[in-house]
Structure 1
């Protein structure tokens, strides 16, 4: 009998002290139910984490889309300004080349007048564009008000200096 009592005790100790088989089924069902509730709660938390992650990614997409749109707008404005400045630069470069050519021509004329015109009178250099006579009210030259060898700008016709261009931005 000792063996049967030890069997009884071992079975009762493994069942938590219950001898009733229906109690052990209830205990197993209770464990299953608790485990199922725990799994449901864990799945709910997992879905909430996943939804929060999706919401965060959606917000990040919206923010990056706005940033991208602003960058594209800024790039468009900058490109338009660049094209405008490039066009202005082309015009200024062409004007600079034209003015440099004109300056070179004027310097050649001044050099020619200074080298050949020192002994000639005013009438002989009129064809070069140097005329120190003033135009009167009636549109004709007024030789009475003319100062001897002085042009309209107060300098002598014979002491013209070469016109120098600033060659910093020449080419």
Structure 2
């Protein structure tokens, strides 16, 4: 029985030694991966930063376009109101005073300033602001 215990003890020691060697090899393999993973991590962080910057630039441009759209819509609405008023006023002026219609203040030909370019300001960058 003493021989059996001794044989078993030697076998356990050999098994423990092999286990320690496997553990050391696994640790060495993981340590070898560290530099490669750091490079990959740096590349991913750089890519995320570039993508975030592109997103912020596009979001800023989008905000400007939204502000311009709101301003142009408001101006279009105002111009439509003026045209509606002129259309209703012209019919009134024609019935009241047909000879002075060409000199009338409300004559559409007198509104040449309405033919100015429509420019929206780029000062509004937030979608929450009403420019």
Normalising by structure 2, we get a TM-score of 0.57
Q: Which has the larger radius of gyration?
A: 1
User: Does residue 49 of the first structure (1) align with residue 34 of the second (2)?
Assistant: no
User: Does residue 129 of the first structure (1) align with residue 107 of the second (2)?
Assistant: yes
Q: 2:43 — aligned with what?
A: 66
Q: Choose which of 82, 86, 90 in structure 1 pairs with 2:59.
A: 82
Greater relative CO, 1 or 2 (CA 8 Å, sep 6+): 2
CA RMSD in angstroms, aligned pairs only = 3.2
CA distance in 2, matches of 1:55, 1:97: 64
Taking the TM superposition and a 5 Å limit, the aligned residue runs for 1:146-165 are: none
**Residue 45 of structure 1: CA displacement?**
4.2
Normalising by structure 1, we get a TM-score of 0.46
CA distance in 2, matches of 1:117, 1:125: 10
Q: 2:75 — aligned with what?
A: 98
CA distance in 2, matches of 1:93, 1:122: 41
CA distance in 1, matches of 2:93, 2:33: 87
The 3 A distance-change label for structure 1 pair 130 and 104 is closer
**Residue 43 of structure 1: CA displacement?**
4.4
User: Does residue 108 of the first structure (1) align with residue 85 of the second (2)?
Assistant: yes
The 3 A distance-change label for structure 1 pair 130 and 69 is closer
Unaligned runs of 5+ in 2: 4-9, 110-131
